[in-house]
């Protein structure tokens, strides 16, 4: 996964993530939108088969976009760990 920062200000961040599909992109945007300090969280892909997702994150004055993204990724990891722990019990 390769990240490229396109625009970085105090309350706005746009970046692209190479080799990431809609599944992860939707999950990241969903988690970002759960944060009340995030005002805008979205992504776009120029072409569905060959495009690279470009994310836009805007926050209020309480938190930075990078901090909001870090928290969202932490929440995704927690949920993933919980799922990984419970799956072996469920398939027995």
Note the pTM of the prediction, 2 decimals.
Answer: 0.88
pLDDT, tens digit (0-9, with 9 covering 90-100), for 26-37:
999 999 999 999
What are the sequence ranges of the domains in the chain?
2-85
Strands laid side by side in the 2-8 sheet = 2-8, 12-18, 54-59, 38-44
Helix, strand, or coil (residue 86): helix
Token readout for 30 is: 């969903």
Helix, strand, or coil (residue 53): coil
* Angle value at C-alpha 73, between 9 and 62, nearest 5 degrees: 45
pLDDT at 90: 73
Among 3.30.1360.10, 3.40.1160.10, 3.30.2130.10, 3.40.50.2300, what is the CATH number of 2-85?
3.30.1360.10
């Amino acid at each position: 996964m390769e990240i490229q920062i396109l625009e970085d200000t105090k309350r706005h961040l746009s970046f692209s993530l190479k080799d990431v599909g809609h599944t992860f992109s939707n999950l990241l945007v969903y988690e970002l939108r759960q944060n009340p300090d995030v005002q805008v969280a979205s992504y776009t892909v120029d072409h569905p088969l060959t495009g690279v997702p470009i994310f836009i994150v805007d926050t209020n004055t309480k938190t930075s976009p990078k901090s909001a993204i870090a928290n969202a990724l932490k929440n995704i990891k927690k949920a993933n760990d919980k799922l990984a722990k419970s799956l072996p019990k469920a398939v027995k």
